[in-house]
Structure 1
């Protein structure tokens, strides 16, 4: 995708605009299976009667989407047979059925539609949903896999955060934890990104990590290892959270006895509508709920934050990891997520908007 120009589609009473944009990471970002310095996104705008809602699709390479695939999907959308954005369920069901997968592309439309609806109602979406923003858990800040020196530097930079998320899954796991513990004693959550392959070794690590104030394990083993993950969950001294194993609403019930909880991300589940449904279903099943993100601008982060009061843990640092955010929205103060009292998802464009 070479051009960063906006594409515009007039769709009855709606106008849909979208364009590619590349997020630049502040540090090389390394997890168990890959490293990267940029993340491709597509920015969307949905306009109705002069009011514009903003959306975003973020596509880390492992999700299988690209700027080209998102733009191809958005070009298929025809909203001309809808007379109002308040036909929300019909619109989003129609979009979901247009093609399989394409969850980030679908999320970009979902977020823009929710932003538009909130602006039409002159209310932030957390108020429309009846949620209290003071109940948002402190967000974690992610420390990627790196050298001892860089890990120490990243932890020192993250001094305001009350909890840190640590990427594990390689043979440097203990070094990384020991390095972090030489700098800070704040609670940690460990994201293994499917990096462990043996359940007994995983359990041994779970006990070792608990002694070092790690509060949960995210996706410890490959998602295909269902029995092994269930065994680990049964024996682990700390909760286990499904990430790669949990994509959409239909996955939640199947994971009840395999993991302690689920990690919900808008880019995996097609956006705010389904994310809220997943949180409520998990709660009804007495599962823990984590709200995560990809590398994203403040657009998608602020959208996710609208439902963060429903969760046990928040991992909403995606916009803090980039150097070219083009929105103002949710901010982090002393590790706490602060939602602006603005309508929709609460964002405005910054002066750096290109």
Structure 2
């Protein structure tokens, strides 16, 4: 095999704002694997929250290439699972899934997975003032979106949720605090939010402080994101969350994501599949999880100024191959 990695800087259509800050560009790393007549590409998005950068991910991949290149794709896929989970492993793992599908005379996700022809995906309302968030929610609803993911910090939570609900009265709404609610009274806040028909709340507390959730009533289901990377984290989450958010950049690829999904369901968790900002290359790799998930948040390409050629089709709040 021949393996190469390159970084790409992609401008966003509009600034993307969450509780940890704003972004105007998406910086991804793509891995290309050449094996005989076949060529495959995997993509990852290094995430500073997890101590990753483009430079660190590129260095990891470069360190692994001399060993992996000597192997067959099947051997490399197995060896890769002994490497640390994270964005670097994800890019290689997803490229290998695609490569092996080609070797089977098919195109990923076939022949390994049957994918629903259309999948409902959340459309993301990023943090802004009350009026701006209401306007974005209204526009999404008018475009046909049926599921909204509302990013929030600790400021004016109720006012912003109320405005979004009023602007999108028929949409399913999930909230994402990105660990920002440590200083809020969660018992009171969760109770107040029930009047707005919220389907789920994602990661209200920092991952190193979420043990407190075991002592807080959950009138609205809670979803672990930053607190859940791989299957080994599940045992700590049982009394704190009802759902987990599977992201391939956290699990280190589809191989571990499938294991995480299986073990999570055995423990009674519902499944959300999410993404970092990225192109359809990254979103396609997550479709085997998305086709079975209760909540899907794979709208990364919608937020970009330009997606890759032959990307996923996004229409009326759904995605399709």
- 1:30 corresponds, among 17, 25, 34, to 17
- 1:245 corresponds, among 227, 230, 234, to 227
- The aligned residue for residue 317 of structure 2 is 335
* Counterparts of 2:190 and 2:107, CA distance in 1: 40
- The aligned residue for residue 123 of structure 1 is 106
Q: Say if 1:126 and 1:307, in contact at 8 Å, map to a contact too.
A: no
- The aligned residue for residue 70 of structure 2 is 81
* Counterparts of 2:75 and 2:208, CA distance in 1: 38
User: Are 2:94 and 1:111 equivalent residues in the alignment?
Assistant: yes
* Counterparts of 1:60 and 1:153, CA distance in 2: 29
* Counterparts of 1:121 and 1:72, CA distance in 2: 31
- After TM superposition, the structure 1 = structure 2 runs for residues 34-49 of structure 1, keeping only pairs within 5 Å, are 34-49=21-36
1:120 deviates by 1.5
- The aligned residue for residue 187 of structure 2 is 203
* Counterparts of 2:248 and 2:318, CA distance in 1: 20
Q: Secondary structure at the match of 1:197?
A: coil
* Counterparts of 1:142 and 1:169, CA distance in 2: 14
User: Are 2:51 and 1:64 equivalent residues in the alignment?
Assistant: yes
Please give the per-residue CA displacement for 1:292-312, whole angstroms capped at 9, x wherever unaligned.
Answer: 000011100111123212311
Q: Say if 2:120 and 2:319, in contact at 8 Å, map to a contact too.
A: yes
* Counterparts of 2:37 and 2:191, CA distance in 1: 56
Q: Secondary structure at the match of 1:182?
A: helix
Q: Secondary structure at the match of 1:193?
A: coil
Q: Secondary structure at the match of 2:193?
A: helix
- After TM superposition, the structure 1 = structure 2 runs for residues 235-314 of structure 1, keeping only pairs within 5 Å, are 235-314=217-296
- After TM superposition, the structure 1 = structure 2 runs for residues 163-202 of structure 1, keeping only pairs within 5 Å, are 163-185=147-169, 186-198=171-183, 201-202=185-186
Structure 1 stretch displaced more, 291-300 or 151-160:
151-160
Q: Secondary structure at the match of 1:229?
A: helix
Please give the per-residue CA displacement for 1:216-249, whole angstroms capped at 9, x wherever unaligned.
Answer: 11001111223311223xx111110000101112
For structure 1, list consecutive stretches of 5 or more residues without a partner in the other structure: 1-13, 340-354
* Counterparts of 2:206 and 2:8, CA distance in 1: 31
User: Are 2:96 and 1:91 equivalent residues in the alignment?
Assistant: no
Question: In the superposition, relative to structure 1, how do residues 129 and 209 fare at CA in structure 2: closer, same or farther (>3 Å)?
Answer: farther
1:331 deviates by 2.0
Question: In the superposition, relative to structure 1, how do residues 333 and 55 fare at CA in structure 2: closer, same or farther (>3 Å)?
Answer: same
TM-score where L is the length of structure 1: 0.84
Question: In the superposition, relative to structure 1, how do residues 59 and 162 fare at CA in structure 2: closer, same or farther (>3 Å)?
Answer: same
Q: Secondary structure at the match of 1:216?
A: strand
* Counterparts of 1:270 and 1:85, CA distance in 2: 17
TM-score where L is the length of structure 2: 0.92
Question: In the superposition, relative to structure 1, how do residues 130 and 61 fare at CA in structure 2: closer, same or farther (>3 Å)?
Answer: closer
* Counterparts of 2:69 and 2:253, CA distance in 1: 21
Aligned-pair Cα RMSD in Å: 1.9
* Counterparts of 1:80 and 1:171, CA distance in 2: 50
- The aligned residue for residue 322 of structure 1 is 304
Question: In the superposition, relative to structure 1, how do residues 181 and 51 fare at CA in structure 2: closer, same or farther (>3 Å)?
Answer: same
